[in-house]
Amino acid sequence: MIGLTHYLILSAILFIIGVMGVLMRRNIIVILLSIELILTSVNLNLIAFSHFVNNPTGQVFVFFVLTIAAAEAALGLAILVTLYKNLESINVDDVNQLKG
């Protein structure tokens, strides 16, 4: 019998894979992809709770999270293109202009 715990553990593992991608990679594109993965794991968590509590609110919030994920990807990629035009690089180490 698959219970809520199974989904919570799966969601935690996906979340941590995403966090590791954000913290350990130097490529900004992969970092943005990892953020998408984190949002997906949160969606899985919300839908699992929505299913086991029998309340549609969780699924409505997943709808909003999808909207924000689309917005974040569009703006993040626009910033990334501008950054590449200015720096000729997509590594996070090269983005250090704000360092004191």
Partner 1 sequence: MGLPEIFFYYFAIMAVVTAGFAVTRPNPVYSVLFLVACFFHVAGLFVLLGAEFLAALQILVQAGALMVLYLFVVFLFNLSEAKSARVVHRQAGFAGIVSLILVALMVIFSVQGVFRGPFRELVRPQTTDNVSFVAGSLFTDFLLPFELASLVLLVVLFGAIVLGKREEGE
Smallest distance from partner 1 to CB 48, Å: 6
State which residue, 25 or 98, has the beta carbon closest to partner 1: 25
The CA distance from 61 to 40, in Å, is 12
Backbone dihedral angles phi then psi of residue 52, each to the nearest 5 degrees: -80, -20
Backbone dihedral angles phi then psi of residue 43, each to the nearest 5 degrees: -60, -40
State which residue, 27 or 97, has the beta carbon closest to partner 1: 27
Read off the DSSP letter of residue 91: B
Taking CB under 8 A as the criterion, which residues in 10-69 touch partner 1?
10, 12-21, 23-27, 29-30, 32-34, 36-37, 40, 43-44, 47-54, 56-57, 59-60, 62-64, 66-69
